[in-house]
Amino acid sequence: KQEVTQIPAALSVPEGENLVLNCSFTDSAIYNLQWFRQDPGKGLTSLLLIQSSQREQTSGRLNASLDKSSGRSTLYIAASQPGDSATYLCAVADRGSTLGRLYFGRGTQLTVWP
Amino acid sequence: NAGVTQTPKFQVLKTGQSMTLQCAQDMNHNSMYWYRQDPGMGLRLIYYSASEGTTDKGEVPNGYNVSRLNKREFSLRLESAAPSQTSVYFCASSESGTVTYEQYFGPGTRLTVT
């Protein structure tokens, strides 16, 4: 069974810092890895999806990398802003299922203070 | 194009009551999913449906039943609600067999069982 771990569980930084969120998974047989953002009391917003054949994806100030062989992904947020405060979830779509069943980490709760 | 919609948004039940959570998608996806999210946890899969007319158990199916009514709709039923089922429920859909296996999520239903 796929196990997904996110480190750190919580992070508090001043505005303007560049920061890295980490995600690791136990089985490299995946279709893709997704990073989501979740605001308090809200649903999931998809940020980036990296297919298993890709090494990284970028969207604005966000960059996600994938090292499938080592079972690791990082989400890099440049020049952080208070509006980036949210919980960030990592999920992998497992090849053990024809559907690409998603396994989620517990998330990193990010606070960016002015 | 509404994506994935869920009703209701909020619900309070007494122990032993029953209810059905509704989910619909307008993206013509074959596969649909129900997840629950508990505080400090990632999402866990309750049931999924690979295609119209099929359903399968996920990681935490006990206490739930599902119906794939047609290609658009996938409902989750609690026959006799228990306090342990207090959670946020998310529905998702995807087009399995594509390159990305990307899942799209609804806004969630916040359920409290007293």
Question: What digits encode the pLDDT tens for the residues B50-68?
Answer: 888 899 999 999 999 999 9
Inform me whether the pLDDT recorded for A73 exceeds 70: yes
Q: Is the dihedral of CA B95, B39, B12, A41 positive or negative?
A: negative
Spatial distance between the Cα atoms of A75 and B113, rounded to a whole number of angstroms? 36
Q: Which residues of A touch B (CB under 8 A)?
A: 4, 31-32, 34, 36, 41-44, 46, 49, 51, 89, 91, 93, 98-107
| Confidence bin at B87 (pLDDT 50/70/90) | very high
For A31, the closest of B43, B101, B110 (CB atoms) is B101
Residue type, A60: G
Confidence (pLDDT) at A95: 82
Task: Single out the residue of B35, B36, B70 nearest to residue B51, CA to CA.
Answer: B70
Confidence (pLDDT) at B99: 61
Q: Could you give the 3-state DSSP secondary structure of residue B21?
A: strand
A chain contacts of residue B94, beta-carbon cutoff 8 Å = 99-100
Inform me whether the pLDDT recorded for A100 exceeds 80: no
For B49-58, give one letter per residue: b (16+ CB within 10 A) or e: bbeeeebeeb
Cβ(B74)–Cβ(B32) below 8 Å: yes
Q: What is the DSSP string of B41-109?
A: --EEEEEEESSTT--EE-S--TTEEEEE-SSSBEEEEESS--GGG-EEEEEEEE-TTSSS--EEE---E
| Confidence bin at B97 (pLDDT 50/70/90) | low
A chain contacts of residue B48, beta-carbon cutoff 8 Å = 99, 101
Inform me whether the pLDDT recorded for B31 exceeds 70: yes
pLDDT tens sequence across A13-67: 999 999 999 999 999 999 899 999 999 888 899 999 999 999 999 999 999 999 9
Inform me whether the pLDDT recorded for B101 exceeds 80: no
Q: Could you give the 3-state DSSP secondary structure of residue A83?
A: helix
Spatial distance between the Cα atoms of B50 and B31, rounded to a whole number of angstroms? 4
| Confidence bin at B96 (pLDDT 50/70/90) | low
pLDDT over 90 percentage in chain B:
77
Angle, CA B40 vertex, CA A70 and CA A73 arms, to 5°: 20
| Confidence bin at B40 (pLDDT 50/70/90) | confident
Give me the mean pLDDT over the B28-46 stretch: 91
User: Tokens standing for B111?
Assistant: 């359920």
Distance of CA A28 to the CA centre of its chain: 16
